[in-house]
Structure 1
């Protein structure tokens, strides 16, 4: 065999192509991930959260507009594109340890709503690294999401001075990440709009270290606001029977 061809094949087999994407960590203001604490432990671990929020400007001075991911989501639905799940953008750490480059799960749904890019995912059962990620998610040791996106077309980016707006972009992957979040859990209007059920409210109150009993008591007290106090029952005269004699 031609030695130059052999050398070329060997180089090709050992060369790893890292995707040309940009990673962006969402600025944390609150818990980004949610999951059902009553999940059957024998079933795959599922969770959801927001990978992008429309009201956020990231540390690179970028703001994604609602609709930025519409074409990408449609491409994923028909199978023309994929969205991978890593832990801490592990594909970038292939040279450190191949284990970190393994995909830890899959994204089940991607959708845009009034808050941002909402995603739901599942950790791959029996996965060695996935088991670690599952344990950290369940214990709320990690609670962040980070995106890696392909370079957008310049026509889809507009400079606003203090930041740039991105109107259209495609993702390579969304990572579960362990960047610490702000435990002060600052409340925004979008956080409140995400509360639709009593269970959502209890999950929200859990950020303030309220247990189930304290949450129930607070909800009952709030529900009583504005309601008139019950009128006391009239007292009865224990000797009233004498009036009948």
Structure 2
């Protein structure tokens, strides 16, 4: 199967409205954990969102990963979301373009420094591969939690796979790798954040307990 990077085109961006479009996920794209999304995987959940008369939130870096209260605040709104022959096609706009945060995010997107999209989801139905040449999991039904604008590493697929596979984090080393791949942190920053996050599990430490709760919530959301 082909490996396709999930990027949006800066040519479609509107400087006045902050609008842009692209794909939150694509079909036939094997990630580094061996998962592939099957056509039709989003349809049922998109119908549920339509009934609720809203769409999943638009975040940056899947909520920022513990860097501050503002990280979980949506950076924009999705105005259109549908499944086509390629994957999950989305259209949206960045909000608050008159603020420093809005200008920074939009500027990074316009210049191509922030040019990827990724989904936070739960696999509701999947088929396990039984042969070496088959994907590890064929994802047949997905529940969407959010669609994020993200920064991709040189290997764009590694970034998407790491974010989608939060449930595979079992050790502090796994979490360090996750932060580097999914969050774009340096080795030193990933070690510091991971160390504090795991140490914070001690309930006697009030600040640490809050951090641990945030860590558990973020991982649960993307699992």
Aligned to 2:192: none
TM (norm. structure 1) is 0.55
Aligned to 1:173: 146
Aligned to 2:7: 32
- Higher relative helix content: 2
Displacement after TM superposition at 1:37 (Å): 5.7
Question: Would the aligned equivalents of 1:86 and 1:103 in 2 still touch at CA under 8 Å?
Answer: yes
Displacement after TM superposition at 1:149 (Å): 0.4
Change (3 A) 1:38 1:118: closer
Change (3 A) 1:128 1:169: same
Q: How many residues are matched?
A: 150
Change (3 A) 1:157 1:29: closer
SS of equivalent to 2:23 = strand
Displacement after TM superposition at 1:92 (Å): 3.5
Aligned to 2:119: 147
Q: Give the Cα–Cα distance (whole angstroms) in 1 for the partners of residues 6 and 91 of structure 2.
A: 15
Q: Give the Cα–Cα distance (whole angstroms) in 2 for the partners of residues 127 and 33 of structure 1.
A: 23
Aligned to 1:224: none
Aligned to 1:131: 103
Change (3 A) 1:56 1:97: same
Q: Give the Cα–Cα distance (whole angstroms) in 2 for the partners of residues 74 and 167 of structure 1.
A: 15
Question: Would the aligned equivalents of 2:127 and 2:137 in 1 still touch at CA under 8 Å?
Answer: yes
- CA offset digits 1:3-50 (Å, max 9, x no partner): xxxxxxxxxxxxxxxxxxxxxxxx9745610244673x3x22111111
Q: Which runs of structure 1 show a deviation greater than 2 angstroms over 4 or more consecutive aligned residues?
A: 27-31, 35-39, 125-131, 180-183
Question: Would the aligned equivalents of 2:58 and 2:74 in 1 still touch at CA under 8 Å?
Answer: yes
Change (3 A) 1:97 1:135: same
Q: Which sections of structure 1, spanning at least 5 residues, go unmatched?
A: 1-26, 184-245
1:119 aligns with one of 90, 111, 119: 90
| Alignment map for 1:93-242 (pairs within 5 Å) | 93=66, 96-125=67-96, 126-150=98-122, 152-153=123-124, 156-161=125-130, 162-181=135-154
Change (3 A) 1:142 1:67: same
Q: Give the Cα–Cα distance (whole angstroms) in 2 for the partners of residues 79 and 88 of structure 1.
A: 25
Q: Give the Cα–Cα distance (whole angstroms) in 2 for the partners of residues 131 and 138 of structure 1.
A: 10
TM (norm. structure 2) is 0.60
Give 1 or 2 for the bigger CA radius of gyration: 1
